[in-house]
Amino acid sequence: MLVKNAKFFLGGKITEKDILIEGEMIKSLGHFSGDGIDASGCLVLPGLIDAHVHLRDPGATQKEDFHSGTRAAIAGGITTVLDMPNNNPPTTTLERLEEKRALASRKAVCDYGFHFGAGADNFGEIRRAGPGSLKIYMGKTTGDLSLPDEKLIFLHFQNFPKERPIVVHAEDQTIMDAEGRTPLAAQVAVAKAAMLAEKSGRTICIAHASTAKEAELAKKWKKSFVETCPHYLFLEEKKIAQLGSFGNVYPPVRGEAERKKFWAALGSVDYVSTDHAPHLPEEKEGGAAGFPGLETSLALMLDAYNRKQIRMEWIISRMCENPARIFNIRGKGKIAPGFQADLVLVDLKKEWKVRAESMQSKCGWTPYEGMSLKGKAEKAVFRGKLVLDGGEIIEEARGREVML
């Protein structure tokens, strides 16, 4: 396959070359004769990597599963997802991990990986499973994986291989019990996690940071990485109030002043994920927490780029390169020979409105309903096959587990 007239970032600068693909891999960059996919008018990005999704499979497939969720990913320009462990039952044993692997191998149409859940007494299962990453929930959230005991957290920090990241949902349960999910609850938990990580000399990732202060506190330890999500950058409390129970998410979306501070501190954010957490409307009305986000995350960032709020290099590093590096995903995140042929062709001039009715996710709603955006994934190549064309999925390829 050839991708002709491709404009993409190479060595920090936009270049225009053809991309020669052989099988599933990028073979060469240059100028080649022959027909192929014409990328004229588009900017070509590496396929995005979303390191934080909840695909609800097994246990809650009425609202998402590996098939619908990975279709949503492809539609949003995302070619690799890492699934979280707080299913019912949770992914805390080798048996549960193997169950997920079997389901994903049959259903997923993009590549995938799995975070493993840390419990109070599953140290032996973690050693048996040998996962590429571990997830610790410092406070209560969706599911039953809360682990507020600092001694147990520290034991996991000490025992899990230091070169593999531990992802932390950082909300302090004591403060939440006293005053709710305030910024202080998140900030105190981040400070504790960074301190324990420094003491144990290990790498951690702070999941879904919602304030600039969280990023600042995390960075007091040199091996802390900070994740944020689009809803903390593009939504604020007044908008959330209009959504009623549909605006419920953990951690909560903060006020406008906090949002602006966070934009000013984006240099301290290492990667952007969606925390795609779909629930059906009736579940949201009952208080379920979480937003769908796979089909809007890139488009929101492209719109911000068009508004000159953010640089394209930042988008590529935080949504492609850094997730691959942080989670040890080889051969992804860059457009270069020897890398997997995962590409997304974006039309930066495409103006469109977000409509849940046109989305792939089963949940049937979005917090961005009716928002006008400029910029969209028009084509996607996954493992050397054109799978998205004109914004529509035209072929389903078979996804594989990434080697974390």
> pLDDT by residue (tens digit) across 218-249?
999 999 999 999 999 999 999 999 999 999 99
pLDDT, residue 12, reads: 86
pLDDT, residue 213, reads: 98
Residue 53 has pLDDT above 80, yes or no: yes
Rounded percentage of the chain residues whose pLDDT exceeds 90: 98
> pLDDT by residue (tens digit) across 262-312?
999 999 999 999 999 999 999 999 999 999 999 999 999 999 999 999 999
Residue with tokens 């406008």: 256
Laid out side by side, the sheet with 271-272 consists of: 116-117, 134-137, 166-169, 204-206, 224-228, 271-272
CA dist., res. 66 & res. 83, Å (int): 9
As annotated, the active-site residues are 275
> pLDDT by residue (tens digit) across 375-392?
999 999 999 999 999 999
Mean pLDDT of 185-203: 98
pLDDT, residue 123, reads: 98
CB 180 within 8 A of CB 248: no
CA dist., res. 259 & res. 121, Å (int): 38
Report phi then psi at 53, rounded to 5: -135, 155
Mean pLDDT of 107-113: 98
Residue with tokens 């990028």: 26
pLDDT, residue 398, reads: 96
Residue 172 has pLDDT above 70, yes or no: yes
pTM exceeds 0.85:
yes
pLDDT, residue 212, reads: 98
Q: How confident is the model at residue 11 (pLDDT cuts 50, 70, 90)?
A: confident
Give the E-state strand segments of 149-209 in sequence order: 166-169, 204-206
pLDDT, residue 52, reads: 98
Mean pLDDT of 79-95: 97
CA-wise closest residue to 267 among 310, 234, 329: 310
Residue 403 has pLDDT above 90, yes or no: no
Strands 48-53 and 78-83: parallel
Report phi then psi at 202, rounded to 5: -120, 165
pLDDT, residue 142, reads: 81
Residue 404 has pLDDT above 70, yes or no: no
Mean pLDDT of the chain: 97
Tell me which DSSP letter residue 290 carries.
Answer: -
Residue 368 has pLDDT above 90, yes or no: yes
CA dist., res. 220 & res. 223, Å (int): 9
Strands 166-169 and 134-137: parallel
CA dist., res. 68 & res. 61, Å (int): 9
